[in-house]
Amino acid sequence: MLTTSDFLQYTQWSGIATLVFAALTILAFVLKWGFRFRLVGTTGFMLVLTGGLFALSLVPLSRTVIPGAVKFTLVYDNGSSQAVIATAPDVSPTELEATLRQAASNLYSYGRLGSRENNQLIVRARTIIHPEPGLSLPVYLGQVTRSLATREDSEMAVEIYLDKFAQLPSSKA
């Protein structure tokens, strides 16, 4: 996976290429070359590309990986203080706890707007069961609550609803 230092190096090379295209564009206008306006477009594109690479060199692109977490899908996110993830029905309580911690860490963002009272992000985990043909029921298996104020939240509160695991078809509880 590319790191921020890789993007910084790409930014430097792209910046040099942008300066070369800018110099070539100026030379094309001085010598009245026929393709000088194409060079204007190329130089503009290189400026945009360099700016994008520079932005990627500032922001970390890493995702948290917690051992024991299973694959999940984000099914609802209000962009503020609530999100819902979906897991497979055969998830165990320990896998669910690791998955909730990973989801809460990955969904943290400085841009989330928490309510002024508690400033908390709540991530709920659910799965879908099919008790009979043609009937699908969502079952909420747990939730995690984390702070929106700091990136590293050591006081994440994870709740696992063990009674809901009894409803699952192949319960590991």
Write out the two tokens for 80.
């503020």
pLDDT-derived band at 172, boundaries 50, 70, 90: low
Rg (CA), the chain: 25
Give the model confidence (pLDDT) of 71-118 as tens digits: 999 999 988 889 999 999 999 999 999 999 999 988 887 777 655 557
- Span 40-50, average pLDDT: 97
**Tokens linked to 127:** 């799965």
Residues in the chain: 173
**Averaged over 24-32, what is the pLDDT?**
96
| pLDDT at res. 70 | 94
Q: What proportion of the chain, given as a percentage, has pLDDT over 90? A: 60
Domain ranges of the chain: 4-58, 73-165
- Provide the residue type at 27 as one letter: L
Positive or negative, the CA dihedral 148, 151, 153, 158 is positive
Tokens 């203080």: give the residue: 81
